[in-house]
Each structure stands twice: as C-alpha cells, then as structure tokens.
Structure 1
C-alpha cells in the first residue's frame, strides 16, 4: 500500500521565527490529513519571557485548500501556556515544505517553515533552516 505523496499526514520538522532579535524555535508536528481537514499535535522547546527553555505541547486543527494550508495551534496548558496561534502557509510543488506566517492577533507575528524529513529531503533540512 503506497501513500499519496501529496497527503500531508506524517511527521514534520518545523521552525518559527520572531520579528525581533529572539532565537527561532524548532518544533515537531504530527499532521493527519483527512479530506480538506488537518489535525494533529506539536511538541516544542520554547522560551519563556526571561529566556528560560520550557517544554510545551499543542494540538492543531485546520484545513488545506490546494496549496494553501491554514491551522490553529492551541497550547494545552503545559507549563502555563494556553494561548492559540494562527498559521497560514503555502505548500511547495512536491508537498515536502510548508512556508508562511504565524500570528497571535494583537501580540506577535513571524515566519514559519515546516519540512517533511523523508528520503532525500532529510539531508536538506539543516540547509533549509539556515536560509530561513
């Protein structure tokens, strides 16, 4: 049984950046695509306001329309993180990268990149994050 290469279901490595001089944050996302719907979970080591690392978890729920990918990441309350973040991105031609913008309305916004590290793409992950 082969899976549809354009289906987004799987493990993705991601990185989001802030508009200020804060270090980018890497994350791991598990996506499940069913029809036009996306769901899943995210694990990351983020930074508190004082710069201390904090392990946090979130769920995601959203959708896909062609190359457009939108979802809301909602932190589950671990270590006091309970806010939601909107993601709006575009899928590349071979369905291995999603790039776009994230925002917490009225507070923060920045860029994000997600890469499906399978096969030949795994070796290119670091280079993609460096250019990001």
Structure 2
C-alpha cells in the first residue's frame, strides 16, 4: 500500500473524452499496485483514431498523496509511438479516479475510472488468504 493508504489493484471501468466532437470511449483496466508502483493493461473497443477491433495498452506509473500518474502505450505498432500521460485524483474511498490525459503536442481530454466492487472484494480476500 502507498503512503496515501490506497491499493489500486483490481478491475476498473472507465471513460475518456476527446477535446473535439468525438464520442466518449469506454475502457476496461486491470491494475496491479505494489506499494504505490502501478502497472497494468487496458482494453477498449476500437473505431476511434483509426484503431479497429479491440485496442490493448500497457500502463506503468505510480501514486502518492492521492494523485495517480501513469503512461499508457498501445501495443498497436501504428500508435505505440504516442505515449499517453494520465494524471488523476484518487477519491477518498480509493474506488474512483478522475483527471486528465495528454498526448504532448497533440491531444488532451478528461477521464474517469471506477473500480469494480466485486473485483476489489475478491482481491481483498486473496490478499487476506496469502497473509
């Protein structure tokens, strides 16, 4: 657990918004949090920005003081050269994160992530069993 008292491990559902008239995009994320160091993967339906099918991304970052920073890189070779930087505020209960994303020099927008309560309970049970 990090110094802000949150373990962000688990399944998350989110939305991100573009700066223009493009529709919101829903994504799923699975995070692993080890003392504030966060890794994971995202999945989203393609169709935006020229992606087709399902788009996968890898994330790596950290959180401290109630703020999560991470970078997402798509595994699609055409988009892998454009890392996306996220910065969000973790809500008091640790189950919601809201903030902004940015592709430097190109695009930016907002995002919201909400943890799946059932996945959190399962992760908590597993952690207790292994302790």
- Classify the TM-score, shorter chain: 0.7 to 0.9
Normalised by the length of structure 2, the TM-score is: 0.79
- Specify whether residues 105 and 8 from structure 1 end up closer, same or farther in structure 2 by C-alpha distance, changes over 3 A only: same
Instruction: Give the unaligned 5+ runs of structure 1.
Output: 120-132
**Any conservation in 2 of the 1:102–1:111 contact (CA below 8 Å)?**
yes
Aligned length: 113
After superposition, the CA RMSD in angstroms is 1.8
After TM superposition, the runs of 4+ consecutive aligned structure 1 residues lying more than 4 A away are: none
Residue in 1 aligned with 2:108?
109
Structure 2: runs of 5 or more not aligned: 119-131
Judge conservation of contact 2:7–2:36 (CA < 8 Å) in 1: no
**Distance in 1 of aligned mates of 2:21 and 2:48:** 14
Residue 77 (structure 1) shift: 1.9
Tell me by how many angstroms 1:117 deviates. 2.2
Residues 48 and 54, structure 1, Cα contact 8 Å, conserved in 2: no
In structure 2, the partner of 1:33 is 33
